[in-house]
């Protein structure tokens, strides 16, 4: 084992955890909002530096033995590098929008950026894992920080409730996952992904099959796929909006990337064992996500169901179980992160004239007259989430369905895309409320420049100009997918 290579490969996680600890120490002496802001900016800086660390691996398509660290516990390959870039971008955005929100609620504390940094370090481990133990350590590091984040508004009952719900259900999911992992270990005799794949190659014993099912069920909790989705709307609604934005973007990427690693890596030699599960879960997520959103009156709940719906589409790529499918999922994830950030930043920018947050759908009636640009951007996000061309959200669906069709999963593709029309209904409803209804005159408050800049960036990305990035994005995703399959 080459220590210098191992330490070099885990450099981003080292940087993030050490910075997190130092900032935590510094936070003990902080007073006032300026210190909290400084910690936030330093954390964003740390994320940017970490992104610089991983970028070379993503662009060079690093894979195989040169990407392996600590004797096969960890892989710093192109796949993990691309996933980390997305996670850092999403986390950075969640940090940047936070000060304005928490200062209004008189709850801005430097612990918020620190917790985000620690969660991101955990996610880095999750996407790089090539061993069940690394998987669990990364997942718990992320989850523990996330439970606290959900309950960050100490004086808000809804926030506390969200934290508790997230904790109880998350702990249950971890338990299920751990049970599945122990079965897998018991019946294959190893915790390393490569070893599991080799052991399963000859055939799958019933015990190992149970292991596969439980591991996937535990992971389905984390990606909030139906039927393990019920915590999502409550937690998303109750958690402070910047935290919701964080939950909907970064951990989604991490958990999905982890699911890909487990399904295509560890269980990659027994695709038929889990393909049906993924197909059913995917279709159910699409349909339940779409139907559940229709009756929602709260924008955050609506976006929660939208994220369930999107996970369904992402899983179509996983069901294909091909490098093209994995590459399509990564492209979709990149676009999904931009759409989610755009959507939640837009929700954060909805304020009444006293600067209080507005979250009800009815309150944004006629927004296109009060806040023209904001309404246009939000409408773009909605059409993009619905997958209507020429917006970039269409491209995500396109590549995923392309992979499914190429893998011969025609019925899945046809059902999935037909169900996407149900989803279009509620996205249209938001546009209808903003554009067709008479103005309610509630959401008229101004927002600060950070929000505006982030929204503009996200809107630009999901505008038709985004298609110019398809080649670059496609190349990166192909390299990443190749490294994922190379390791398997």
Q: Which residues bind another protein (CB under 8 A)?
A: 368, 376, 383, 388-390, 394, 398-399, 401-402, 405-406, 410, 413-414, 417-418, 420-421, 424-425, 428, 431-432, 435-436, 467-468, 470-471, 473-475
> In whole angstroms, how close is the CB of 394 to another protein at the nearest point?
7
- Residue 457's SS3 state is helix
* Distance from C-alpha of 111 to C-alpha of 193, rounded to nearest angstrom: 35
Closer residue to another protein (CB): 123 or 419: 419
Please state the φ and ψ torsions of residue 138, each to the nearest 5 degrees: -65, -45
User: CB under 8 Å, gap of 24 or more: what pairs does 292-295 form?
Assistant: 292/233, 293/423, 293/426, 294/422, 294/425, 294/426, 294/429
> In whole angstroms, how close is the CB of 436 to another protein at the nearest point?
5
Please report, for residues 264, 288, 400, 466, the alpha-carbon distance to residue 281 in angstroms, rounded to integers and kept in the order given. Answer: 17, 10, 16, 30
> In whole angstroms, how close is the CB of 405 to another protein at the nearest point?
4
- Token look-up 């080799």 returns 198
> In whole angstroms, how close is the CB of 473 to another protein at the nearest point?
8
> In whole angstroms, how close is the CB of 283 to another protein at the nearest point?
15
Closer residue to another protein (CB): 21 or 418: 418
> In whole angstroms, how close is the CB of 365 to another protein at the nearest point?
13
Closer residue to another protein (CB): 7 or 418: 418
User: CB under 8 Å, gap of 24 or more: what pairs does 53-57 form?
Assistant: 53/11, 53/12, 53/15, 54/12, 54/80, 54/81, 54/84, 54/85, 54/88, 55/81, 55/85, 56/81, 57/81
> In whole angstroms, how close is the CB of 261 to another protein at the nearest point?
24
Torsion region of 17: left, alpha or beta (phi above 0 gives left; psi -120 to 50 gives alpha): alpha
CB of 64 closer than 8 Å to CB of 486? yes
Closer residue to another protein (CB): 120 or 433: 433
Q: Residue 159: which residues within 8 A CB-CB, separation 6 or more? A: 150, 151, 152, 153, 238, 239, 240
Closer residue to another protein (CB): 97 or 382: 382
Distance of CA 208 to the CA centre of its chain: 28
Closer residue to another protein (CB): 198 or 410: 410
Closer residue to another protein (CB): 336 or 426: 426
Closer residue to another protein (CB): 26 or 389: 389
Closer residue to another protein (CB): 26 or 474: 474
User: CB under 8 Å, gap of 24 or more: what pairs does 445-448 form?
Assistant: 445/350, 445/351, 445/352, 445/353, 445/354, 445/355, 445/356, 445/358, 446/351, 447/100, 447/348, 447/349, 447/351, 447/374, 448/100
> In whole angstroms, how close is the CB of 121 to another protein at the nearest point?
33
> In whole angstroms, how close is the CB of 153 to another protein at the nearest point?
37
Least Cα distance to 70 among 139, 166, 155, 3 occurs for: 3
> In whole angstroms, how close is the CB of 38 to another protein at the nearest point?
38
* Distance from C-alpha of 259 to C-alpha of 240, rounded to nearest angstrom: 27
Token pair of 419, please? 């169900």
* Distance from C-alpha of 173 to C-alpha of 139, rounded to nearest angstrom: 11
| Rg for the chain, CA atoms, rounded | 21
Closer residue to another protein (CB): 422 or 457: 422
Closer residue to another protein (CB): 452 or 470: 470
User: By CB neighbour count within 10 A (0-12 exposed, 13-18 middle, 19+ buried), where does 452 fall?
Assistant: middle
> In whole angstroms, how close is the CB of 374 to another protein at the nearest point?
14
* Distance from C-alpha of 128 to C-alpha of 83, rounded to nearest angstrom: 9
* Distance from C-alpha of 468 to C-alpha of 256, rounded to nearest angstrom: 26
């Amino acid at each position: 084992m080459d220590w210098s290579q191992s330490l070099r490969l885990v450099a981003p996680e080292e940087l993030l955890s050490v910075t997190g600890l130092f900032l935590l120490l510094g936070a003990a002496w902080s007073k006032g909002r300026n210190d909290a802001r400084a910690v936030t900016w330093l954390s964003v800086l740390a994320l940017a530096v970490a992104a610089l660390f991983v970028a070379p691996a993503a662009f060079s398509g690093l894979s195989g033995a040169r990407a392996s660290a600590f004797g096969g516990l960890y892989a710093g390959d192109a796949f993990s590098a691309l996933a980390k870039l997305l996670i850092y971008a999403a986390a950075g955005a969640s940090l940047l929008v936070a000060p304005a929100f928490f200062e209004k609620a008189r709850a801005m504390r430097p612990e918020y950026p620190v917790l985000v940094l620690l969660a991101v370090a955990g996610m880095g481990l999750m996407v790089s894992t090539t061993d069940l133990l690394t998987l669990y350590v990364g997942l718990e590091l992320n989850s523990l920080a996330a439970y606290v984040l959900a309950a960050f508004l100490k004086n808000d009952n809804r926030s506390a409730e969200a934290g508790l719900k997230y904790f109880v259900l998350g702990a249950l999911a971890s338990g299920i996952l751990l049970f599945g992992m122990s079965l897998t270990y018991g019946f294959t005799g190893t915790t390393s992904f490569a070893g599991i794949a080799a052991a399963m190659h000859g055939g799958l014993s019933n015990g190992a099959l149970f292991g596969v099912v439980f591991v996937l069920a535990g992971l389905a909790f984390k990606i909030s796929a139906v039927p393990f989705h019920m915590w999502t709307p409550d937690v998303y609604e109750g958690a402070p909006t910047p935290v919701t934005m964080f939950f909907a973007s970064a951990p989604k990427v991490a958990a999905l990337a982890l699911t890909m690693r487990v399904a295509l890596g560890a269980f990659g030699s027994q695709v038929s064992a889990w393909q049906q599960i993924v197909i059913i879960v995917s279709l159910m997520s699409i349909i339940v996500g779409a139907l559940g959103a229709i009756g929602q009156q709260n924008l955050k709940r609506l976006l929660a169901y939208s994220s369930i719906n999107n996970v369904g589409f992402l899983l179509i790529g996983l069901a294909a179980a091909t490098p093209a499918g994995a590459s399509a999922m990564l492209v979709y994830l990149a676009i999904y992160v931009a759409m989610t950030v755009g959507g939640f930043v837009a929700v954060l920018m909805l304020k009444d004239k006293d600067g209080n947050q507005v979250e009800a759908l009815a309150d944004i009636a006629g927004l296109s007259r009060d806040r023209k640009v904001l309404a246009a951007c939000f409408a773009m996000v909605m059409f993009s989430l619905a997958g209507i061309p020429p917006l970039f959200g269409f491209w995500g669906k396109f590549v995923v369905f392309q992979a499914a069709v190429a893998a011969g999963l025609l019925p899945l593709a046809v059902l999935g895309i037909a169900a996407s029309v149900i989803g279009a209904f509620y996205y249209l409803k938001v546009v209808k409320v903003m554009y067709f209804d008479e103005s309610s005159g509630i959401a008229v408050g101004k927002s600060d420049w950070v929000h505006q800049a982030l929204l503009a960036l996200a809107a630009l990305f999901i505008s038709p100009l985004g298609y110019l990035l398809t080649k670059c994005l496609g190349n990166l995703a192909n390299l990443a997918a190749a490294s994922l399959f190379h390791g398997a």
